[in-house]
């Protein structure tokens, strides 16, 4: 059975392999170029594993149809509308879209703040990189989940995603996305400046496309 429209789907646990290559890249290491002494390599690996253990990865997604589209205005089937020329262009060929969100939880954020306050900068930086990449990978996982279901309808998600705060899709739109994804149920809050809390919490939208046979 494919994913229905207009139903918020929660993922209480997102099982992903630790994206070490992406974590090292975020830390500035270049594969085949950056060489670490064995003791330093071991320390980095230890902190990566520790950071990953502090993460409680959860997510949510919502599939919507496009009800109305203009040059700079798009309305979805839940009656939420966004005014953004860039978003409309991004979803130009899509009759549907999937909004998604993920969070690494509060525990890893508390550890990052504690390490930074105590002067353990290396540990804090590595924890931060782990949380960032793992949360981003959670969106990849959600997209693949939807793709498995959408293929039954001869559809698929765009390989890329778009987030509030890019182009003319202002950060203020985060409020509407937060509410329709019911992110509060994941323990995520939003500030009056439209920042998600805990810090390693993200949202995005990806368009649903018909699979064209070659």
pLDDT in tens, 87-97: 999 999 999 99
Burial class (CB in 10 A: 0-12, 13-18, 19+), 71: exposed
DSSP 186: G
pLDDT in tens, 25-74: 999 887 766 676 777 888 999 999 999 999 999 999 999 999 999 999 99
Do residues 182 and 60 lie in contact, with contact meaning Cβ atoms separated by under 8 Å? Answer: yes
pLDDT of residue 121: 81
Q: Is the pLDDT of residue 1 over 70?
A: no
Domain boundaries, the chain: 8-210
- Supply the CATH classification number for the domain 8-210: 3.40.109.40
């Amino acid at each position: 059975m494919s994913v229905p429209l207009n139903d918020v789907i929660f993922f209480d646990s997102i099982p992903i392999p630790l994206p070490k290559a992406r974590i090292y890249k975020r830390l500035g290491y270049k594969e085949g170029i950056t060489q670490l002494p064995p003791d330093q390599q071991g320390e980095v690996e230890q902190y990566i594993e520790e950071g990953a253990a502090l993460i409680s990865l959860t997510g949510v997604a919502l599939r919507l149809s496009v009800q109305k589209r203009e040059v700079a205005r798009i309305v979805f089937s839940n009656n939420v509308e966004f005014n953004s020329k860039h978003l409309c262009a991004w979803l130009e060929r899509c009759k549907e879209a999937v909004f998604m969100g993920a969070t690494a939880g509060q525990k890893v954020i508390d550890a990052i703040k504690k390490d930074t306050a105590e002067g353990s900068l290396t540990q804090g930086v590595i924890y931060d990189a782990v949380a960032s990449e793992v949360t981003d990978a959670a969106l990849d996982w959600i997209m693949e989940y939807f793709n498995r279901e959408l293929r039954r309808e001869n559809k698929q998600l765009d390989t890329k995603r778009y987030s509030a705060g890019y182009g003319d899709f202002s950060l203020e739109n985060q409020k509407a996305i937060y509410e329709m994804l019911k992110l509060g149920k994941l323990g995520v809050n939003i500030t009056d400046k439209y920042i998600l809390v805990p810090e390693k919490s993200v949202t995005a939208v990806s368009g649903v496309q018909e699979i064209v046979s070659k």
